C-alpha cells in the first residue's frame, strides 16, 4: 500500500510539472 501511495504521488507530481511546462510553452509562444 505504501508503494502504491508513493507511486500515485510521483504520478501526480509528473502531471503537475507537465501542466506547468505547457503553460510555459504558451507564455513563450506569445
pLDDT tens sequence across 1-30: 455 666 666 677 788 888 999 999 999 987
- Three cell numbers written together for 4: 502504491
Tell me how far apart the 2 most distant CA atoms of the chain are, in Å. Answer: 44
- What is the pLDDT, as a whole number, of residue 14? 80
Element holding 1 (H helix, E strand)? none
- What sign does the dihedral 19-20-25-28 (CA atoms) show? positive
- Three cell numbers written together for 15: 502531471
- What is the pLDDT, as a whole number, of residue 12? 72
- What is the pLDDT, as a whole number, of residue 16? 85
Amino acid at each position: 500500500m505504501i508503494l502504491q501511495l508513493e507511486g500515485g504521488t510521483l504520478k501526480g507530481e509528473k502531471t503537475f510539472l507537465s501542466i506547468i511546462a505547457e503553460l510555459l510553452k504558451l507564455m513563450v509562444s506569445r
